[in-house]
Amino acid sequence: MSPVGSDVASRIAQRSLAKRRADYAGEVRRLLDAALELMRAGGTASRPRVADIVAAAGLSNEAFYRHFPSKDALVAAILEDGSERLRDYVAHQMGKEPTPEGKVRSWVAGVLSQAAGDVAATTRAVLWNAGGVTGPAPSGPPSVTGLLAVLLREPFAALGSPDPAFDAALAAHATVGTLADHLWGRSVPAPSDVDRITACCLRIVKA
């Protein structure tokens, strides 16, 4: 029998790697979900330990450290995951609006919605747990502010902004800062707040 061809060996190796990737992705998802649930339950009163997280996920310390060098790295991953989910939600809401002004208002409403109900408690708990996490390196993933700012570039350009990227970043920093004030102040933005911030964003474009 002739030796196994390199193409066959490569396919077998790829199948093995694909299974391992799927298994590892499942482990990471379980760790993220378990940590988030523990943070939600503890609020701003207690921080879960690695031992608590692996027990809740039904995994081992070895599995945890296979994917995360530290608990801070896990918290950073939860922040990144939450930021991308928020970006996707806001983008979906903006897609329902036919006008650039409507898209901007939908963007503001979507961002400020994070300060209401159960989502506010969860966001506050995650940010509190991240209090000891150092900021991302310049080559790391973009912040939630950066992700959200990108969504404003297209409507700002349609509204005549001479520098949509700059104006979008300015509006995003102001709006996310307002969101943080509501989160830590445990207050819920009113519809009038959405109106005022939307008007402010539109003034930035026309300045």
What is the signed CA dihedral for 178, 85, 119, 111, rounded to 10 degrees?
20
Provide the terminal-to-terminal Cα distance of the chain, rounded to the nearest Å. Answer: 77
pLDDT at 9: 67
Choosing among 1.10.10, 2.60.40, 1.10.3470, 1.10.357, the CATH entry for 72-207 is 1.10.357
Tens of pLDDT, residue by residue over 95-132, are 999 999 999 999 999 999 999 999 999 999 999 998 84
Residue 159, classified by CB atoms within 10 Å of its CB into exposed (0-12), middle (13-18) or buried (19+), is buried
Neighbours of 162 (CB within 10 A): 10
pLDDT at 1: 47
Domain ranges of the chain: 1-68, 72-207
Whole-prediction pTM? 0.82
Residue 162 has phi, psi (to 5 degrees) of -75, -20
The residues, any chain, with a CB within 8 Å of residue 149's CB and separated by 6 or more, are: 165, 168, 169, 171, 172, 173
